[in-house]
Amino acid sequence: MSRVVVAGSKNVIEPVIENLHEQNLLHIVNYSGGDNAFAMGKSLERAHEISEQLIKLRSIERYLGITGKIPDREFTESEVVSQMSDILDVIGADVVTTYERIAEIENDVKVKQDQISAMKPLSALPIPLELLSGYESLATFVGTVDSPVESDVSGVSPSNEVFSAGDHAVAVFVPVDKASAVSGVLAEHGFVETSLPKDISGSISGAITTLESDIKSLGSEKEPLQKKLDGLKAQHEDAILAVDEYLSIKAQKAEAPMQFASTENAFVVDGWVPTDQFDTLEREIESATGGRVQVEMLNEGEADELVEAGEDVPTKIDNPSVVRPYELVTRLFATPEYKEYDPSLLIFIFFPIMFGLILGDVAYGLITMVVMFMLRRKFRTPGWTSLINIVIIASVWSIIFGILFGEIFGPMGLWDYIFSGAHYVGLLGTVAQPHLVGVDFGVGFYGPLGRIGPSGIGSFDGAMFPMYRLATASVLVLIGVSLFIAVLHTGIGSILGVKTELAYGEKRHAYYERLPVLLFQVFFAIGLLGLIVGGLTNPLVPLSALVILVSIVMMVKGPEGVMGATHIPFFVSNLISYLRLLAIGLASVGVAFAANKLAFYVVMPMLSGPEGAHGAFTTMAIVIGVVVLIMVHFINLLLGLLSPFMHPLRLHYVEMFTKFYSQHGGGIEYAPFGHVRRFLRG
């Protein structure tokens, strides 16, 4: 990135803005005042008019329920200009009146519904509505009560007339001078007054019927209006969005001078541009204005000074298209700073492998992939597409690991039926008979080191796989694999940490804070390996002890002093944390195993009666067994998708990013002055 200043007199401000916008290259830095010679710029005169049009258009969009869509067709600028007044005034007015009428109808319906629900309890009262109010010498109380009121009302007002219907509805007529006393009595009985419509006469039940038919006719008036709005939306949606885009671009251009520093007759635009694009930028602006502006690149010293003064250099995030979805994960944490390494590529490499290692099931992987492909048609916003692409790539890995683990719907699932043609016998066999053929890691200091597969079934005898994950040997192997990934992952993080600190010129931080962590973690793991393989006498053990000691001394000599060494438990826990790759996988395998066991060894034999024990299941038993299978596997898949996503995410954010990323608070993204055209042809 290079810092660029464009200066010129105000009579070329419009061509400069036009040209900058078209080039879409300059990341403008807002002028924030502070220099007496320059004032903040004012927007162009037409900005006011444009924003008014834009507000009008946005309200039309809101009435029609337009929220942005994939363009079906593109418009040229002249098409948009010719349609704009039609859309804003003619169609717009139509939309507004239609929408307002619908809102009015909806309001009316609501009022009438409220009246109906208020009058419903009173419908059995034998008095017409018009006789319930409007007296001079009589006070009336119409509403509902909890218990009969006649005797108590007579107590305070001997002359009265009480009508009641059903258990709760009452209409009480008393002389006006007794009103307050009667009101007190009624309150004791839980009296709730009903507000009656003034403009309806006749019996209450008749009034309810009238209101109901009113609601119906209002509904039938609303229906064609709604259809008309839907029709207008279908017909003009693209055009409206195109006008929106056109006006947004115009507004953006008209308001651009507010970001500039300006004097009475001149303006200065300050910004960043990718260094290799500077020549293009300069040439284009100068040709657009006939050379009447000054375009200048600040030399590196000046740019560095700005950075040291606390100004952020924008970062242009640029990754190959397969890696691009993973920028979502990076951005969720922080935008990389200008001199920082963008970790998206590392996430692209490690995240799917970790996901696959945890989920590791052919069927789950396939189902996930199919569902994601279906969702991709529905959710087409950039954020969702990225997320879905991430999961699709990850599900490929879970199929690969599923083949390695021999899991289709978990152990004892379809794998063994497909590849061995026999009932599964191997799971417990593997645990009990560790001497079976396969890749054996031999005997270590503390006991056997474990092996990879096989289970002794069918044609896979002696092969590398499948390694059933629940078998002891596999668990030990996977602990090793997890720790290997841990050292690799955190090691890369530490190396990048050294690199980043050097890029910022912090040599002391690089060599005495980042480097010892790398040494500590790598040799901690090597020492552990030596201990397992050959015990304390293995040469790897004293060697790593020595290196660890050196690394601790380096930490103490580092910028944090003795406090630096207090982070050691954190570095150890970093490594152990990767055991989750094994652990969460085991949990979901356990549930899948339980599902299969439940269906094939419990539900089906039990429901089949005496023959069931020999594998002759009745149809009924098979149906119920399959229902159980589907239910448990479905729940397991739902839970099993969340954890393989969240936990690798955590491993990146906590274990890896803390080594190198976002130490200085995150950067800002390169956002050049321009507009993405979707509905307008360029």
Partner 1 sequence: MVVDIIVDGGMLYGLIAVGAGLATGLAGIGAGVGEQGIGAAVVGVVAEEPGFLGKGLFLMLLPETLIIFGLAVSLILMFAWTPFV
Question: Which residues of this chain interact with partner 1, rule CB under 8 A?
Answer: 331-334, 446-447, 472, 475-476, 479, 573, 576-577, 579-580, 583, 646, 649-650, 653-654, 657
Q: Name the minimum Å distance from CB 149 to partner 1.
A: 50
Residue with tokens 């079934």: 457
> CB 62 → partner 1: shortest distance, Å?
22
Beta carbon nearer to partner 1, 370 or 646: 646
**135 vs 446 by CB, closer to partner 1:** 446
d(Cα 445, Cα 530) in Å, to the nearest integer? 9
Of 334 and 400, nearer to partner 1 (C-beta) is 334
- DSSP per-residue letters across 319-344: --TTTGGGHHHHHHH-PPPTTS--TH
Minimal distance, residue 312 CB to partner 1, in Å: 15
Alpha-carbon distances, residue 33 vs 39, 259, 381 (angstroms): 6, 10, 37
320 CB-near residues (< 8 Å, 6+ apart): none
Residues contacting residue 270 through CB under 8 Å, at least 6 positions apart: 3, 4, 5, 28, 29, 31, 260, 261
Residue 145 and residue 186 in contact, taking contact as beta carbons nearer than 8 Å? yes
Q: How far is the CB of 505 from partner 1 (least distance, A)?
A: 26
Q: Which helix (H) or strand (E) holds 27?
A: strand 27-28
Closer by beta carbon to partner 1, 333 or else 460: 333
Query: Which residues have CB under 8 Å from 242's CB, separation 6+?
Result: 74, 75, 79, 80, 679, 680
Instruction: Please say which residue, 24 or 573, places its beta carbon nearer to partner 1.
Output: 573
DSSP 130-191: GGGS--SSEEEEEEE-SS--HHHHHHH-SS-EEEEETTTEEEEEEEGGGHHHHHHHHHHTT-
Assigned token pair, 548: 């660890």
Residue 373's contacts (CB-CB under 8 Å, 6 or more residues apart) are: 392
Place of tokens 């119906």: 216
272 or 578: CB nearest partner 1: 578
Collapse the DSSP code of 309 into the 3-class scheme (helix H, G, I; strand E, B; otherwise coil) and give the result: coil
Q: Which residues pair with 440 in a beta bridge?
A: 451
Report the residue number, 249 or 477, with the smaller CB distance to partner 1.
Answer: 477
Q: Smallest gap, in angstroms, from Cβ of residue 631 to partner 1?
A: 25
Closest approach of partner 1 to the CB of residue 583, in Å: 5
Q: Residue 445 Cβ, how far from partner 1 at the closest point, in Å?
A: 11
- What is the spatial distance between Cα 575 and Cα 564, in angstroms, rounded to a whole number? 18
Minimum distance from residue 656 beta carbon to partner 1 (Å): 11
Nearer to partner 1, 186 or 483 (CB): 483
The number of CA neighbours under 13 Å toward the Cβ of 524 is 24
**Residue 112 or residue 489: which is nearer to partner 1 going by CB?**
489
Max CA distance (Å), the chain: 112
Q: Of 415 and 657, which has the nearer Cβ to partner 1?
A: 657
C-beta of 163 vs 653, nearer to partner 1: 653
Closest separation in Å from C-beta 577 to partner 1:
5
Q: Which CB sits closer to partner 1, 576 or 613?
A: 576
Which H/E stretch holds residue 451?
strand 451-452
Least Cα distance to 395 among 330, 351, 439 occurs for 351
| Amino acid identity at 594 | A
Nearer to partner 1, 83 or 335 (CB): 335
Quick check: 612 and 606 in contact, CB under 8 A? yes
Residue 204 contacts residue 119 (beta carbons within 8 Å): yes
* Minimum CB–partner distance for residue 579 and partner 1 (Å): 5
Q: Using CA atoms, how far apart are residues 155 and 519, in angstroms rounded to an integer? A: 96
Strand bridging mode 261-262 / 266-273: antiparallel
Return the structure tokens found at 333: 């944490």
Q: Which is nearer to partner 1, 268 or 476 (CB)?
A: 476
The three-class DSSP label of residue 284 is helix
Give the integer Cα–Cα distance in Å for 172 and 140. Answer: 6
Structure tokens at 97: 């009146």
Least distance from partner 1 to the Cβ atom of residue 585, Å? 12
Residue 550 or 583: the one with the smaller Cβ distance to partner 1 is 583
Residue 51 or 472 with smaller CB distance to partner 1: 472
Q: How far is the CB of 332 from partner 1 (least distance, A)?
A: 4
Partner residues linked to 244 by β-bridges: none
- CB 576 to partner 1: min, Å: 6
* Smallest distance from partner 1 to CB 325, Å: 16
**Of 9, 671, 19, nearest to 281 (Cα)?**
19
What residue has token string 């002028």? 31
Judged by DSSP in three states, 669 sits in strand
Residue 574, φ and ψ in degrees, nearest 5: -55, -45
What's the token pair of residue 33? 């005042």
CB of 495 to partner 1, least distance (A): 21
Minimum distance, C-beta of residue 333 to partner 1, in the bound complex (Å)? 4
